[in-house]
Structure 1
Amino acid sequence: MQEEKKPVHHAHGGPDQRDFIPLGIAVLTVSDTRTLEDDRSGAVLAERIEKAGHRLIDRAIVIDDEKLIREQLQKWLAEEEVDVIITTGGTGLTGRDVTIEAARGLFEKEIEGFQIAFFLVSWPKIGTSAMQSRATGGVAQGKYIFCLPGSPGACKDGWDELLVKQLDYRTRPCNFVEILPRLDEHLRRT
């Protein structure tokens, strides 16, 4: 019997033989008009999270209000089973778009590369309109927060092109999961 060949590690970060580690993920839709019944963007994310093998811990909708958004994020940051929070909506440029301000107020570190990567994914699809998104990511209290635009297409792009890969422990050469246990090192120091 021949020995089973292990996959070759690719520069593009393909999976290797590590075991998948399911994460606890919460989804927040920011909208003045949506309900859970007609929230297509939140549904897109919830479906993809579960299909990838992660646990959907909670899903909520809040209106475009910085204080209410921050309160919901803080609630989930305090829950032990939540590793990642993904928001959809409120990332644009209008006066009501305050998700980024709410999240950034909680960040200890911003993941600038996430905004750049999201822009690169969006550019071929929507061209110069990609400049209007302020999609971002950051670290708060040892957890990840990713803020995506409110359209189902943007949620598909953010998940399918970026998050599904970086939230998979098998992705090489590196991924967000392998450093998750160390995100709160500064909080544990005495």
Structure 2
Amino acid sequence: MDAILAAAAQVFEAHGYAAGTTNRIAIKAGVSIGTLYQYFSSKEAIAVALLEQHIADTGHRLHEWVGHMVVEQHSLSEALNDYVTDMLEMHSRQPRLQHILLEETPIPERVHQALLESERQAAKTVAGLLRLYPEVRQSGLEHTCFVVVQSVESLTHRFAAHPDDEFIPRATFVNEVVTMLLAYLTCEARHE
């Protein structure tokens, strides 16, 4: 099963979702098409399993980051730098895959709901850490952290997905995102 998922990730990354057939996946995995169908009923089922794996991996990495930051007692700037760098590294491994899984794959409602819940949990997790930093404005922190998580996810994914179009060097990109987050997290909240 792991070999099939790993092969599917490579096939989708190389060929896209539409051309990422079960035959190509089976060949890449070194299994017969019959063996593939013993584990997965369709290409869609494989893609859904990859997306569920991505959701779980992202949540796990986020919890590891928070635990590391609590133990190491990094400054806010260092913590954000580690977060942005880690997300960028994660997205750089298979930059097209997440786009393919989220934008091209038909996602069942239960997986869509799991994705939304993982976003809410990520915001709560980041808020739990950022409460430890007195310089971070505390009002509406979970909503603020939802914006932080979405911003880091979107920006790092976009940067990693187009490595040939890098307008700015990687280190500069990380510094710019961290600067933006620091300003956002420490500014006075505006309520209109």
TM normalised by structure 2 equals 0.25
TM normalised by structure 1 equals 0.25
* Structure with larger Rg: 2
More strand by share: 1
